[in-house]
Structure 1
Amino acid sequence: MKLSKAIFIIVLVLLIDQASKIYIKLNYTLTPSNSDPIVDWGKFQLLFYENAGAAWGMEIPGDYGKLILVIFRIFAVFGIGYWLVSSIKKNGHRILIICISLIFAGALGNIIDSVFYGVIFSGSYHGAIATAFPESGGYAGLGYGHVVDMLYFPLFEGNWPEWMPVVGGDRFKFFNAIFNVADSAITIGVILLILFSKKAFPEPKKS
């Protein structure tokens, strides 16, 4: 698979990811807990949530925790990019190139939010709709932006069995995470790598 096709996949994912994030950011306020979603199609809901930390809303404590996370992500993207170019040069399997391209695009999409959104947009707080390039400046410094999430698929919910330790009897939802197109690209890339691992990582031929 040629590098040009990998670049096409990356650019396509980035365009869809950033277009969806910017549209949500500039047209809606943050979705408070227990309030109506922007769109509610049963098992598909569209919300507006901002993730200030890592995946699943986790945060690194301290004044520089966010910046450390962003720097780590940037190094990771460079590593994934090297893996992609190296795999293409070695004529890696098509499925491997597609998966790495999806993972690279997803990681880069979320880095764009973290690095630039705090500078480009005003804050989406206290019922305000954000504006782009506000005269008073953005809501955070370079590298301290929040990742925009909007996709929510609560497929089903119920109670954990009483006999289960710690969570027994508690209410749960599946899938209870709010995510975005970039997260989806990473997840799809990883799942495909696992499902087609034999094709993606063939055993070397014996001489």
Structure 2
Amino acid sequence: MIRKSPFKFFVLTLLLIALDQGVKLAVHFYMAPGFAGQIKLIGDWLKLHYVLNPGMAFGMQLGYEYGKLLLSVFRLFAMVGIGYYLVHLAHRGAPDGLLWAMSMILAGAVGNVIDSTFYGVFLNNAPYGSPTPWFHGQVIDMIFVDLWEGFIPEWVPVWGGQYYSTPIFNIADSCIFIGVCLILFFQRRFFGEQHIENSMLPATPDANEAAVLPAAEFMGEEQTEKLSSDEPAVQSSDDLPSASATPTSTESESVLPNEHKRSE
């Protein structure tokens, strides 16, 4: 496992945030909202179309009074969690592809958090009747891929009979979408490499177990043979004197006088 620095991945995150905010502010100050200010980029299917989104990504929203506030708070926690997870993955040596994808997701989350938190105050675009402009700013969307629009057939459940248009989104939404798709498409490569690297790491040895490990575990065969050849030969049990052997004459002479004194 190679510990990586998350610095370069946060640099990408900051660059994407700057791009997202720059485009949003340019659209706000230099484009008219709606069809009046629409700009065609590629034919009739890719356009710049300035709309305000009071809710979630791709024009979705929570339909109750404090839904926007809850959504903004959720985005704040998600932003912190994604940033922490990115650092964690980098320190564990995760594949670069996974880290780039996470940095894109983080950039998208931060970009929309900035809109929700500050645009209601600095751009005065909070919806009418909001309890406070803080955390109620509307997200600026502008990328319109106009593939199809019209009324959905009546037989379609839930949405039948409603007018439908391709969602309009922004660069932050695109970053989140692309990052998630990269992780889904390459999850075997991203997380498979992590599993292989982790399986190759040795388990943390216990202090008691490490004290009795044989030297062969840490030294090669040549070093082990050299160590054994340098050690003095240990006498076998046949070469050692027996405890029951008959004492020598010198030993018997040293013992007899003591025995003689006892008998007297």
TM-score band w.r.t. shorter chain? 0.7 to 0.9
Structure-2 separation of matches of 1:189 and 1:122: 31
* 1:38 and 2:38 correspond: yes
Contact 1:95 1:199 in 2 (8 A): no
Structure-2 separation of matches of 1:124 and 1:172: 25
Contact 1:29 1:124 in 2 (8 A): no
Bigger radius of gyration among the two: 2
DSSP 3-state at the match of 1:201 = helix
Q: 1:143 aligns with which of 135, 143, 165?
A: 135
Structure-2 separation of matches of 1:121 and 1:145: 8
Structure-2 separation of matches of 1:141 and 1:123: 8
State how 1:123-162 maps to structure 2 within 5 Å.
123=125, 141-156=133-148
More helix by share: 2
State how 1:2-13 maps to structure 2 within 5 Å.
2-13=5-16
* 1:190 and 2:180 correspond: yes
Contact 1:67 1:143 in 2 (8 A): yes
Contact 2:9 2:99 in 1 (8 A): yes
Q: 1:88 aligns with which of 71, 87, 90?
A: 90
1:97 to 1:142, Cα distance in 2 relative to 1, 3 A: same
Shift of 1:160: 7.1
The count of aligned residue pairs is: 187
Deviation digits for residues 115-142 of structure 1 (CA, Å, limit 9, x no counterpart): 00111113499xxxxxxxxxxxxxx611
Partner of 2:230: none
Structure-2 separation of matches of 1:18 and 1:103: 15
Q: 1:112 aligns with which of 114, 138, 146?
A: 114
1:158 to 1:61, Cα distance in 2 relative to 1, 3 A: closer
Output the TM-score relative to the length of structure 1. 0.79
Structure 2 counterpart of 1:92, which letter? A
Structure-1 separation of matches of 2:15 and 2:148: 31
Q: 2:78 aligns with which of 76, 91, 95?
A: 76
- Structure 1: which 5+ residue stretches go unaligned? 126-139
1:12 to 1:160, Cα distance in 2 relative to 1, 3 A: same
Deviation digits for residues 45-77 of structure 1 (CA, Å, limit 9, x no counterpart): 001111001223333234322111100111111
Shift of 1:7: 1.2
Q: Which moved more, 1:47-56 or 1:96-105?
A: 47-56
Percent identity reads 35
Q: Which moved more, 1:37-46 or 1:4-13?
A: 37-46
- Structure 2: which 5+ residue stretches go unaligned? 201-264
Structure 2 counterpart of 1:122, which letter? N
Deviation digits for residues 1-33 of structure 1 (CA, Å, limit 9, x no counterpart): 5312101110110011000001111122321xx
Deviation digits for residues 86-137 of structure 1 (CA, Å, limit 9, x no counterpart): 0000000011100100000001000000000111113499xxxxxxxxxxxx
Contact 2:120 2:126 in 1 (8 A): no
Partner of 1:16: 19
Output the TM-score relative to the length of structure 2. 0.63
Partner of 1:204: 195
